[in-house]
Amino acid sequence: MKRGSAHRAPGHFGEFLQGVLGVGGPVALITLPCPALAAVAGRRYGCGVWKGRAGIDVRQGVRRVLRKAQAARFLARLGVRRGAAFRLRVAMPPGGGAGASTAARVALARAAGRRGAARVAAACLFSEGACDPLMRAAPERALWASRQARVLAVTPALPAMEIVGGFYGLPTRTNPRDALFADIADLAAQWPQACATAAAVARLASVSAARTLALRGPAHDPTAALAARLGALGWAIAHTGSARALIFAPGGAAATVEDALRAAGFAQVIRFRIGGRA
C-alpha cells in the first residue's frame, strides 16, 4: 500500500473578531491563526481493498471530523474522480472552534492537488454552509464573510503576539443558519489601525469576545478573569466553539500560565506565536 505526500492545513484558535456588520449585515470574522494545530491529509495508492470502488474513500483517525459522505461530496465537487482514496488526521477537537472542519477539507483538497483558494472556498461553502478562510495563504489578513466564503476587505499584517490557550466547556459545531451574533461594525472599522500593536489587537478581541459571551454565554466563562490575573494584554474566544486564548506580547507569558489554565479546567493547553516574524 503506497502513501502519497502529506499535506498540512493549519487551523485557527477562534477569532479576534466575529459578528454581524450592522443590522442585517453579513456574519464576518477576523481569524486567529494557529500554526500549532493542523489537519494533515495524504492520498493512498495501490490498495486492493479499495480498488474498483464506486465512491471516494477517506480514512480518518480517532477524531472523525467529516462523515465519509461529506468528504466524498466535497472532493467530488473539486473534480476528484471516483475510486480515489485518502487518509486524514486532525489535531484539534471537532466543535472546538479551531477550524477542524474547514482545515480537514483544505488538507484533503491539497492532497488531491486542488489548491486554488477561491475554488476550494467555494467547495467548502457548498459542503459546510459556512467556512473559515484557512485555504488562503494569510487567513488572518481577511475580513471574511463566513456564510459567503468571500473576502470583504484585506487587512494589515498582525503584530507579533504570543498566544496561550486551551478548550473550555462543551464543543459547539457551527450552524450556518445561526445568526445570533453581536454587531461588530465598529470593531471592524477600528481593526486596520489596531493591527499596529498587540495591545490594540487584544483590546478589540476582548470586546468582541465579551459581546459574544453576553449574548450567547456561557455566563460564567473564566477567560476574562484569567487574562487579568495572568497579565495578558487581552483575550479571544471561538465565537461558536470552546477555544479560549490569552494574548500576550512575545515573551510576556510566564511559564506558569499553562498550569493556571489547566487548573481552571482548560483542556489541550497550547502556546504559540503569531504575527510579526513568528
Query: Quick check: do 2-153 and 155-274 share a fold?
Result: no
How much is the average pLDDT of 5-24? 96
Quickly count helices (H) and strands (E) in the chain: 7, 10
Question: Is 2-153 a domain of CATH 1.10.1740.10?
Answer: no
Span 190-211, average pLDDT? 98
The share of the chain scoring above pLDDT 70, in percent, equals 95
pLDDT digits (tens, 9 = 90+) for 86-128: 999 999 999 999 999 999 999 999 999 998 999 999 999 999 9
CATH class of the structural domain 155-274? alpha beta
**Residues with Cβ < 8 Å from 97, sequence gap 6 or more?**
13, 14, 15, 172, 237, 238, 239, 240, 241, 242, 243
pLDDT number for residue 136:
97
Domain ranges of the chain: 2-153, 155-274
Contacts of 271 (CB under 8 A, 6+ apart): 36, 162, 163, 164, 253, 257, 258
Cα distance between residue 207 and residue 19, in whole Å: 11
Are 176 and 27 in contact by the 8 Å Cβ rule? The answer is no
What are the pLDDT digits (tens) for 58-86? 999 888 899 988 999 999 999 998 889 99
Whether the CB-CB separation of 242 and 95 falls below 8 Å is answered with yes
